[in-house]
């Protein structure tokens, strides 16, 4: 599909109207919102209650009963990585024109989702969500060592460069930064100050701030509806 086709229809992103505090600011519609803000593409949020995520209507958009999904005119997509990449392809600012740099962006984008995202999510799961606490605490140190090796390799590859590819911010930096934010919450970035600086620099961008505010605004509005009083 050409750039003009993508832009020809209105863009809408599914998101929750409220989530518990731990997840606020980390729901994955943030990835799409940030990419859309960087690209300068207007969009609407289609908000749904968390309790309705597995409703028939959401399952037609997102087969696993999650958010986000993205609608562009008649075209519907799911998976935050696929949607973010599609936005980047349609934009003038999130991908380099140079073919070699574009390929490098593709590699780093998947490295963020897979090589870093998997171990980071595993550690987050063991820390916050695993119900068998004894098993989680037994496995966690090994999972954490594995993650730290990955982070140290990433730190080596980034070196003292501000961005992953071609000297400017790309979709690869966007995805790497949102994924690394999750390692910030567990303290795993503390041993890698250059990665912490990298995340803070990228999330300091005005487009990220707007995306974050757009995700948080309905949570504040609906707090009284969902949060127990007192």
Ligand X SMILES: N[C@@H](CCC(=O)N[C@@H](CS)C(=O)NCC(=O)O)C(=O)O
Give the nearer residue to ligand X in terms of CB position, either 81 or 124: 81
Give the nearer residue to ligand X in terms of CB position, either 31 or 102: 31
Contact by Cβ (8 Å): 58, 65: yes
What the block records as the tokens of 45 is 């949020």
Work out whether 173 is an interface residue with ligand X (CB under 6 A). Answer: no
Work out whether 90 is an interface residue with ligand X (CB under 6 A). Answer: no
Work out whether 67 is an interface residue with ligand X (CB under 6 A). Answer: yes
In whole angstroms, give the CA distance from residue 198 to residue 136: 30
Contact by Cβ (8 Å): 203, 175: no
Angle between helices 80-90 and 171-185 (to 10 degrees): 150
Q: Which DSSP symbol is given to 59?
A: H
Give the nearer residue to ligand X in terms of CB position, either 12 or 66: 66
In whole angstroms, give the CA distance from residue 176 to residue 31: 10
Selected range binding ligand X among 59-67, 128-136, 161-169, 193-201, rule: CB under 6 A: 59-67
Work out whether 66 is an interface residue with ligand X (CB under 6 A). Answer: yes
The minimum distance between CB 84 and ligand X, in angstroms, equals 9
Work out whether 80 is an interface residue with ligand X (CB under 6 A). Answer: yes
Work out whether 27 is an interface residue with ligand X (CB under 6 A). Answer: yes
Question: How many CB atoms sit inside 10 A of residue 22's CB?
Answer: 11
Under the rule (CB under 6 A), what is the footprint of ligand X? 27-28, 53, 65-68, 79-81
């Amino acid at each position: 599909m050409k750039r003009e086709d993508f832009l020809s229809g209105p863009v809408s992103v599914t998101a929750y109207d409220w989530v518990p505090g731990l997840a606020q600011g980390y729901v994955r519609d943030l990835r799409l919102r940030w990419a859309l803000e960087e690209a300068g593409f207007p969009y609407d949020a289609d908000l749904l209650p968390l309790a309705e995520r597995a409703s028939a209507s959401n399952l037609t958009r997102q087969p696993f009963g999650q958010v986000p999904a993205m609608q562009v005119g008649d075209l519907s997509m799911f998976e935050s990585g696929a949607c973010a990449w599609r936005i980047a392809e349609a934009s003038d600012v999130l991908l380099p024109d140079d073919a070699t740099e574009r390929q490098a962006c593709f590699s780093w984008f998947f490295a963020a989702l897979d090589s870093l995202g998997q171990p980071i999510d595993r550690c987050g799961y063991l820390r916050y969500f695993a119900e068998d606490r004894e098993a989680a605490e037994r496995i966690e140190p090994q999972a954490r060592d594995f993650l730290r090796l990955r982070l140290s390799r990433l730190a080596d590859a980034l070196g003292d460069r501000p961005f992953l590819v071609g000297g400017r911010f790309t979709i690869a930096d966007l995805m790497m930064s949102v994924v690394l934010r999750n390692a910030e919450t567990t303290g795993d970035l503390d041993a890698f100050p250059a990665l912490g600086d990298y995340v803070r620099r990228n999330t300091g961008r005005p487009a990220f701030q707007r995306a974050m505010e757009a995700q948080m605004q309905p949570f504040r509005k609906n707090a009284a509806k969902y949060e127990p009083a007192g």
